[in-house]
Amino acid sequence: MTHDVKACATAPAPQLLYVGEFPPSNHHGGAILLKRLLDRHPVNCLTVIASKPGMMASSGLDILRCRHIVFPVLRVSASRWARRLNSIPNLLILALVALRAMLLMRRRRAAAVISIIQGRYYLPAAFAGWITGTPHIAVVHDNFISGILAASRFSTLLRYLTRRVLRSAAHIYAVSPEMQRLVFDECGMRSEIQLPSTTVPTSQPSCDPPLDSRDGPVLLFAGTVGYTVKDCLDLLVELIVSGKLNEYGLPKANLHLCTPLTEAEILTFGWNRPGIANQGWVSQSELPTALASADILFLPYSFLPIARGAVETAFPSKIADYLASGKPIIVFGPRYSSLVRYAREQSFAEIVDEFSPSALARAIRKMTFSRADRQRLAATGRHVLCTNHDIERQRHHFYLTIEQVHRANSEEKNQPKPGAAPSAASTTNDAGTR
């Protein structure tokens, strides 16, 4: 077994199994992280088990080129009794996921099974690993406690099962120091921080926006729009369309959205305004070009109390891509968020930690007119990218970890059980010693 996938021609790559609702793809944080870590794994050495809704959402978004096994999921009905009836076949589907995973683990002699602690598929993944003695590598990317509590009727059971899953895992990755602490507080388990990562560009892109442009600076946000960012985007949209930026020497500004929002959703949000352009979701191959077209990158985290549990521990995957662009970044979020803490510690962005249009306007003005600040942030961002978000370095360490847990698991299996009779070889060796 080897951690260097490029050496597969001379040494066999590890057989890996990934189990999760969403396959590794360019869809959301955890899926993007696993997509990039496994991107160079040999096709015949990797199998993905995912749900049909997850595959449909990830369709066309740089899915890994390997075998995908897809299971259906019954939709949750608004009717109370229909939800109860649907839960029975959905539980049976989870049992089928576990059974299929066990068969694959035994047939392929999998070195490890990988899952993200999100949704429900991590439960059959951990169970199949336990039954077959296959090491389970768990990735905690989003706030799993919030997701469990949202399950209401089964929250107590799910919380108990999740603790058991993490306590039995061979290795745990956490997406931020705050998530690392949450895992330890909830389960008493230590984990390794695995920050979002991407390919480091060979050269540093230019960070100077076209200040002489009549249209003003272009701000860009890339990602999904949920409760952890929408209030911040609402404020930025209002700041742009209200003309308030004119008070700060910016008669005009534009916001480009690289999101999967539909035109109907844009209309519902009230974002169909002059200066706001929704460019649609872009693939990983297109993202660097989209980011390069902007003058300032907007990186928000919600100030809403309802989102506090998520923004305290989760971590936006887009941060690696933002840093790789070399563009000035405005981090807009509360002081307690993992994002603001990290940005303040690493000094790679202009930070706005109060929900104030005036404070945000001052930051936009500074990033537009201060060339020295843009250059300083670009240089610091390049250093942070190379130190903390280099996918090549993380991938190398990821395969080392797989090798270590596989070796430890093999050694444990080969150890004689307590009270077992010594083998003929060990008896001969003992006699020879005496």
What tens digit of pLDDT does each residue of 254-273 get?
999 999 899 999 999 999 99
129 shares a domain with 240: no
Which of 388, 405, 427 delimits the end of a domain?
A: 388
396 shares a domain with 368: no
350: phi then psi, degrees, rounded to nearest 5: -80, 125
Of the ranges 26-40, 100-114, 394-408, which one carries the lowest mean pLDDT score?
26-40
| 212: amino acid identity, one letter | D
Binned at pLDDT 50, 70 and 90, residue 209 comes out as low
User: Tens of pLDDT along 344-361?
Assistant: 999 999 999 999 999 999
382 shares a domain with 260: yes
377 shares a domain with 265: yes
Q: What distance, in Å, lies between the first and last C-alpha atoms of the chain?
A: 37
CATH of the domain at 172: 3.40.50.2000
Examine residue 211 and state whether it is found in any structural domain, yes or no: no
258 shares a domain with 191: no
User: Tens of pLDDT along 137-187?
Assistant: 999 988 777 666 666 567 888 889 999 999 999 999 999 999 999 999 999
pTM: 0.87
Binned at pLDDT 50, 70 and 90, residue 11 comes out as low
225 shares a domain with 329: yes
Binned at pLDDT 50, 70 and 90, residue 389 comes out as very high
pLDDT top residue among 422 and 371: 371
pLDDT value at position 339? 96
Examine residue 203 and state whether it is found in any structural domain, yes or no: no
321 shares a domain with 228: yes
Of the ranges 70-79, 229-238, 332-341, 348-357, which one carries the lowest mean pLDDT score?
70-79
233 shares a domain with 189: no
268 shares a domain with 163: no
226 shares a domain with 170: no
For residue 274, which of 236, 232, 241, 244 has the smallest C-alpha distance?
A: 241
pLDDT value at position 83? 52
Strand order in the sheet with 218-222: 276-278, 254-258, 218-222, 296-300, 329-332, 350-352
pLDDT(428) > 50: no
Q: In which residue are the tokens 């099962």 written?
A: 161
Examine residue 422 and state whether it is found in any structural domain, yes or no: no
373 shares a domain with 299: yes
pLDDT value at position 154? 72
d(CA 311, CA 21): 23
Examine residue 208 and state whether it is found in any structural domain, yes or no: no
Examine residue 289 and state whether it is found in any structural domain, yes or no: yes
Domain around 359: 218-388
| 77: amino acid identity, one letter | S
Q: Say how many domains are in the chain.
A: 2
pLDDT(374) > 60: yes
356 shares a domain with 407: no
pLDDT value at position 429? 41
Q: pLDDT > 90: what percent of the chain?
A: 69
Examine residue 206 and state whether it is found in any structural domain, yes or no: no
Q: What is the mean pLDDT of residues 14-27?
A: 92
Examine residue 239 and state whether it is found in any structural domain, yes or no: yes
pLDDT value at position 415? 76
Token representation of residue 171: 């290795």
Examine residue 213 and state whether it is found in any structural domain, yes or no: no
Q: What is the mean pLDDT of residues 105-113?
A: 96
Per the rule left: phi > 0, alpha: psi between -120 and 50, beta: everything else, 174 is: beta
pLDDT value at position 416? 72
